[in-house]
Amino acid sequence: MNETEEKLMPRYGENRRIADGRYDKSLAVECVNGTFVGQKVENIISHKGIPFVGRQPIGELRWKAPVDVTPDNGVYEAYYYGKTPVQAPGDPSALYPMGEDCLYLNVWRSDDAATKKPVIVWIYGGAFEVGGTTDPQYDCFNIVKENPEVIVVTINYRVSFLGFLHLAHLADGRDYQDAANLGLMDQVMALKWVHENIAAFGGDPGNVTIWGESAGGASCTLLPLVKGSQKYFHRVITQSGSPSQTRTAEQAMVCTDKLMEALGCKSVADLLAVSAEKLAEVWTDLYGFFQKLGIRTFPERDGRYLPSDTWQAYADGAAREIVFLQGCNKDEMNTFLGVVGPDVWNAWAESRLQEKLTQLTDREKQLVESYCADIEGPRYEATVRLFSQIMFIAPQIRLSEEQTRAGGKSYTYYYTVESALPLIKSGHASELSVVFGHPELDDFTGRAYDATFCKTMRRMWVQFAKTGNPSLTAEQSPDGKAKQWPLYDLKDKQVMVLDENDIHAAKEAALKIVDWERSYFLTNYYMP
């Protein structure tokens, strides 16, 4: 294990049943499926590795919907994270032991006696390919220490070939209709557990905010479209995630068929006989996120669990009652450029662009070509800017547009703080160390950002979770200056610019966040 791995590898252990009655009763919380004993550091109590399902998705339950918990009067340790979902290597969470038995959540709270605290539930990103709550970035000690009036929960969900694999088209796939959207189903089951149990931790089940970035942010915009889910949450914070991060059944089948061919499998039964390790090995060669920049795995617009047109669902007011805080970063795809380097980026981007162009009309192709032609700089610059628009920026603004037009509310931001690392700029995920309060984890930042700015941004996130409005009075704001965050509106299209030296509201027209003629229409074509 190298120095970086040692830095990132969390302390590992397995939570055990406590049968002798010897435990600290002040750290024990009675839930539907057991009493869970946490650990206390300073004034923060954490409960890690709590199962939110009755049976883990292993064996015959692989590629099956999550099973609800059953009543249990046992007492269990909640000292250690559960396993990371099985995935291709590369993500910090993958340094932790992985397994198919991964459906666990974690809770952080202060040790005061307050009740009815606002609850924030974090859903990690990773292109629906990688990720896990074991990533040190998602340790919530710092944010709860700074904001003891909230409770923060982080949840695991199945990713990649175990969380989003279309199987229904196979000869024996009839009983696997859910396989294409299992990751979302896991999230709903976790939210159900939170709804039923969080009061025992001092939380308010009537004031729950779901919060995510990238694939986690996209999940937060898709969950409101899942029938029956809205009773479990009331607000959404989505960072660089939108309803465009989905795919069709046909697109999903292509990935499944390539996997089947590489494995020499003909049926679901054949796949069930393949070990998780072998599946991960083959998937890494085909679609590995850090190896191939695959970006092919998404929830499926199946017309059953998710609408066949998620944008139309928003336009029709499906999420009208949910208040949103959402936005994007100025240079989203620069993170991917910085991670893989210009040569790999150019090969990937130019191939994917040709693929995208085949979906467009002749007039639309001309608009895209015109957009790229106007961008100066190195070879990669045009495609980095274009794919930032396609994948994150234009969809984020469209989400504000559709939500507002339907009568809902959206507080929209534009994050402009730049990394010190070459190529990254204000790239995708570079704000994570800010919102979680982990300046020591500088993979995408390369430097410590202004501490007051960081604290202010966290305070706005928490204020939104508490009240549904991220604005701060001068007394609430860490820098002593009021921050009035306007709602997005269809006339002025105001957003909050999250600038390290000047947080301020501005009209989209002054910022030119999107090219309304040459990039905005691309949201009609979704992600892949």
Determine the Cα–Cα distance for residues 317 and 300; give it in Å rounded to an integer: 21
**Alpha carbon distances (Å) from 375 to 55, 364, 520:** 53, 18, 17
Neighbours of 355 (CB within 10 A): 10
Catalytic residue among 46, 214, 240, 426: 214
CA dihedral 353, 354, 356, 360 (to 10 degrees): 130
Contact status, residue 270 vs residue 256, Cβ threshold 8 Å: no
Give me the amino acid identity at 207: N
How do beta strands 34-37 and 28-31 pair?
antiparallel
Spell out a b/e string for 200-233, using b for 16 or more CB atoms within 10 Å of the CB, else e. bbbbbbebbbbbbbbbbbbbbbbbbbbeebeebb
Backbone region of residue 521 per phi and psi (left: phi > 0; alpha: psi in -120 to 50; beta: other values)? alpha
- Nearest CA to 379 among 349, 335, 419? 349
- Nearest CA to 247 among 404, 368, 405, 127? 127
Contact status, residue 131 vs residue 440, Cβ threshold 8 Å: no
Token representation of residue 63: 């590629």
φ, ψ dihedrals at 41, nearest 5°? -125, 120
- Nearest CA to 5 among 106, 85, 90, 86? 90
198 CA to centre of own chain: 21
Q: List beta partners, residue 123.
A: 155, 212
3-state secondary structure of 153: strand
Determine the Cα–Cα distance for residues 463 and 282; give it in Å rounded to an integer: 45
Kind plus residue range of the DSSP H or E element containing 48: strand 44-51
3-state secondary structure of 51: strand
Contact status, residue 496 vs residue 485, Cβ threshold 8 Å: yes
Query: Would residue 471 show up in a list of annotated catalytic residues for this protein?
Result: no
Residue 445 buriedness (CB in 10 A; 0-12 / 13-18 / 19+): buried
- Nearest CA to 321 among 235, 263, 382? 235
- Nearest CA to 195 among 43, 32, 405, 66? 32
**Alpha carbon distances (Å) from 116 to 113, 141, 173, 198, 476:** 10, 20, 45, 9, 21
Please identify every residue annotated as catalytic: 214
